[in-house]
């Protein structure tokens, strides 16, 4: 199938598919005229890549996980699970940092309100 057909069936833009190819997440064969051609399996691959993006993974991380799909083995599966665990830990750390930042902002807002209210009383 051609790139437009894959985009329609997978529910993504043609631009996304080109990006996936650039990142090594998807591959195609080329016709003599240079048109990309994809297989039925690529519809599911694009859906899988979309799920990984939705989970907050970068294209680089997704590339590291693809051997689990392309060449299933215990070793590749273990490596993928380890990589996902590291990514989850990174996200958890980021969430904690965001919570600290939010708490600091809350304190600044309390101080700003107190300052505003004190200025109104003295005026």
pLDDT at 77 over 90: yes
Say whether both 59 and 95 belong to one domain: no
Say whether both 32 and 43 belong to one domain: yes
pLDDT of 123 = 66
d(CA 62, CA 56): 10
Q: Which domain holds residue 118?
A: 77-122
Q: What is the DSSP letter of 71?
A: S
Say whether both 63 and 86 belong to one domain: no
pLDDT of 47 = 95
Say whether both 67 and 23 belong to one domain: yes
Contact 19, 56 (CB under 8 A): no
Domain count, the chain: 2
Contact 58, 67 (CB under 8 A): no
Tens digits of residue pLDDT in 4-50: 999 999 999 999 999 999 999 999 999 999 899 999 999 999 999 99
Say what the pTM is.
0.75
């Amino acid at each position: 199938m051609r790139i437009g057909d894959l985009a329609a069936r997978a529910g993504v833009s043609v631009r996304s598919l080109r990006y996936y190819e650039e990142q090594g997440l998807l591959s195609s064969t080329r016709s003599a005229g240079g048109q990309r051609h994809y297989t039925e399996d690529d519809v599911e691959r694009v859906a899988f890549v979309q799920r990984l993006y939705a989970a907050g993974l970068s294209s680089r991380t997704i590339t590291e996980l693809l051997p689990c799909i392309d060449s299933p083995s215990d070793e590749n599966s273990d490596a993928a699970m380890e990589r996902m665990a590291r990514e989850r830990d990174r996200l958890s750390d980021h969430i904690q940092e965001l919570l600290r930042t939010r708490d600091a902002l809350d304190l600044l807002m309390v101080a700003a309100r107190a300052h505003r209210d004190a200025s109104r009383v003295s005026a």
